[in-house]
């Protein structure tokens, strides 16, 4: 008997996924547990596996479609089998009247995904989202070649023309806009989509829903640099790769339990203070900014914390991080010191009430025995949500953190 494969739910916050690439074609034999399609959430990519043994009878959605979780995406059964009823096509947007979906038969005779065929211009089958995207960008449907099931035109086919990546019928179209007059410079238009769109929406939501307030200080970094040099010179191989950032995150994990107001979230008029430190840290990836979470960081040794940070960062960079790796943070750290940034204003990862920005280490003057000396100093910038945390307790936390960094040997011994 034919079985539907549902798009699995990926965490509590993921409502839909974009279909990236089908790994199996209709008619292919598949085994239970074998990946059949790669999908993308707003945070990561993952494979959806077949739930049964059989033959892939039908793909109910195409590459580029944005599909709600728990929706059917494929039908698997015996060769030549036809389901008794047609599965409802999965979509994340109801089509406009001019985009009414028609059910098209697949090679196996099983109804497929939502499709629209342009009778007016004799064009091929096209998904409603692709048609709308093409219309918005002035792309002629007749010039498109579909890469979806049975030649269906998908969103990425339109995008390939916009990006100048098409060939043949999908001849490259210029994306640079040259003004007709006035001497203004030319420019490129880049649609904001995917993870870039998610980042834009979250940053805007963070700034509009919180009362962000930033304070800056510096921490004596002589102890950090000396300890890091000792590790690099004589520590076992597993410890030689521990970075300044690892040491700072370790120190943050030890300081936060003493300041519960900082290890908290604020949402819907409720402040939640947490007993464990789930420490988020910013990772720069090709897809954009990602913030994996080191769970119960306050219970980990330095070596354990550094190893987990490395694992999570690598998972983000290779697009293997799952929703469980990217959620549940209670406080975050972001480091721009490697770029020579002296100080900056980190943006809260709402609903968290605090985020620490780490800048570069540079010499700063301090008073020593009625004189002045230059000491390597680590720049620290703390942003808080002033709705949930007042300036004084936040300042006390920042002062304590700076002191712990300056006395890193004592911090590590605790």
Q: What gap in Å lies between CA 22 and CA 354, rounded to an integer?
A: 41
Compute CA distances 12 → 69, 129, 328, 335, whole Å.
11, 26, 11, 28
Distance of CA 325 to the CA centre of its chain: 11
- Per residue, the 3-state secondary structure of 66-77, as one string, reads EEECCCEEEEEE
Per the CB < 8 A criterion, the answer to whether 296 and 276 are in contact is yes
Q: What gap in Å lies between CA 191 and CA 183, rounded to an integer?
A: 24
Q: What gap in Å lies between CA 5 and CA 73, rounded to an integer?
A: 6
The DSSP H or E segment spanning 351 is none
Per the CB < 8 A criterion, the answer to whether 175 and 163 are in contact is yes
Name the burial class of residue 311, with classes exposed (0-12), middle (13-18) and buried (19+) by CB atoms within 10 angstroms of its CB.
middle
Per the CB < 8 A criterion, the answer to whether 133 and 49 are in contact is no
Per the CB < 8 A criterion, the answer to whether 247 and 408 are in contact is yes
DSSP 8-state assignment for residue 240: H
Name the burial class of residue 203, with classes exposed (0-12), middle (13-18) and buried (19+) by CB atoms within 10 angstroms of its CB.
middle
Compute CA distances 252 → 93, 193, 215, 271, whole Å.
43, 34, 16, 20
Which residue, among 379, 195, 224, has the nearest Cα to 284 in the 3D structure? 195
10 Å Cβ neighbour count for 328? 16
Catalytic residues: 386, 390
- Which residues are registered as beta bridge partners of 361? 378
């Amino acid at each position: 008997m034919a079985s539907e494969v549902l798009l699995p739910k990926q965490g509590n916050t993921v409502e839909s996924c974009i279909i990236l690439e089908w790994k199996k074609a209709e008619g292919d034999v598949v085994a239970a547990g074998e990946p059949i399609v790669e999908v993308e959430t707003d945070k990561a990519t993952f494979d959806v596996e077949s739930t049964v043994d059989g033959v892939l009878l039908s793909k109910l959605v195409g590459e580029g479609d944005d599909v709600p979780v728990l929706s059917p995406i494929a039908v698997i059964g015996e060769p030549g089998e036809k389901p008794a009823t047609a599965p409802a096509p999965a979509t994340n947007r109801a089509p406009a009247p001019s985009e009414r979906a028609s059910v098209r038969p697949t090679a196996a005779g099983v109804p497929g995904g939502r499709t629209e065929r342009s009778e007016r211009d004799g064009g091929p089958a096209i998904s409603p989202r692709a048609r709308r995207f093409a219309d918005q960008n002035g792309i002629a449907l007749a010039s498109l070649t579909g890469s979806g099931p049975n030649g269906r035109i998908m969103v990425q086919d339109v995008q390939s023309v916009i990006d100048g990546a098409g060939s043949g019928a999908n001849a490259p179209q210029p994306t640079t806009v040259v003004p007709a007059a006035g001497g203004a410079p030319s420019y490129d238009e880049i649609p904001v989509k995917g993870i870039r769109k998610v980042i834009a929406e979250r940053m805007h939501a963070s700034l509009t829903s919180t009362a962000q307030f930033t304070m800056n200080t510096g921490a004596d970094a002589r102890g950090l640099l000396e300890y890091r040099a000792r590790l690099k010179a004589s520590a076992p191989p597993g410890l030689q790769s521990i970075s300044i950032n690892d040491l700072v995150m370790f120190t943050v994990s030890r300081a936060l339990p003493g300041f519960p107001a900082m290890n908290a979230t604020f949402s819907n008029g409720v402040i939640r203070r947490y007993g464990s430190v789930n420490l988020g840290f910013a990772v720069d990836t090709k897809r954009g900014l990602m913030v994996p979470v080191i769970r119960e960081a306050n219970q980990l040794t330095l070596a354990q914390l550094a190893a987990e940070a490395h694992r999570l960062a690598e998972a983000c960079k290779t697009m293997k991080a799952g929703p469980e790796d990217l959620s549940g943070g209670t406080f975050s750290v972001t480091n721009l010191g490697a770029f020579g940034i002296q100080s900056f204003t980190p943006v809260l990862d709402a609903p968290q009430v605090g985020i620490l920005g780490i800048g570069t280490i540079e010499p700063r003057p301090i008073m020593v025995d009625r004189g002045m000396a230059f000491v390597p100093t680590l720049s620290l910038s703390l942003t808080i949500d002033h709705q949930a945390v007042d300036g004084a307790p936040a300042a006390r936390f920042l002062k304590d953190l700076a002191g712990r960094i300056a006395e890193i040997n004592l911090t590590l011994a605790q």
